Amino acid sequence: MELSKFFKSVIDMDTAAVVLCDLSHEIVYMNPAAAERYKKSGGYALVGKSLLDCHSPSGNEKIIQVVKWFGESAENNRIYTFYNEKENKDVYMIALRDEDGRLIGYYEKHEYRNRETADFYDYVSNKQ
């Protein structure tokens, strides 16, 4: 069974923005939540562009340092980058590795701290 369509669906259904980058910092994929979040900056049109064009020089320096750290060891896969108080979320950079453990890219992971307010199995409010 080909799992790639399942993995893509997991990312596409996530409500957090997911932007995947290769080792040259090119944006190779954005999920729908990311395209919406970054709509003012171009949304899906950012795919194929450098992530470094979207950040300040000091932010770029940190991104480059983290990717270098990811490359130093297969154990270096997750680093806490900041807390967004306005959205009450922690943000991490996560290494992407192939099946042999080689670094192939990275992405930013958003973990929201807000407790869910929907009722369990509330089919009405879950309709999209």
Distances (CA, A) of 11 to 61, 106, 126: 27, 14, 18
pTM of the model: 0.88
What's the pLDDT tens digit per position in 70-89? 999 999 999 999 999 999 99
What's the pLDDT tens digit per position in 26-40? 999 999 999 999 999
Nearest to 70 by CA among 19, 22, 8, 112: 22
Does the structure show a pLDDT above 70 at 125? Answer: no
User: What pLDDT score does 3 carry?
Assistant: 82
Q: Where are the domains of the chain?
A: 21-50, 55-115
Question: How much of the chain, in percent, has pLDDT values that exceed 70?
Answer: 96
- Assign domain 55-115 to its CATH architecture: 2-Layer Sandwich (3.30)
Does the structure show a pLDDT above 70 at 128? Answer: no
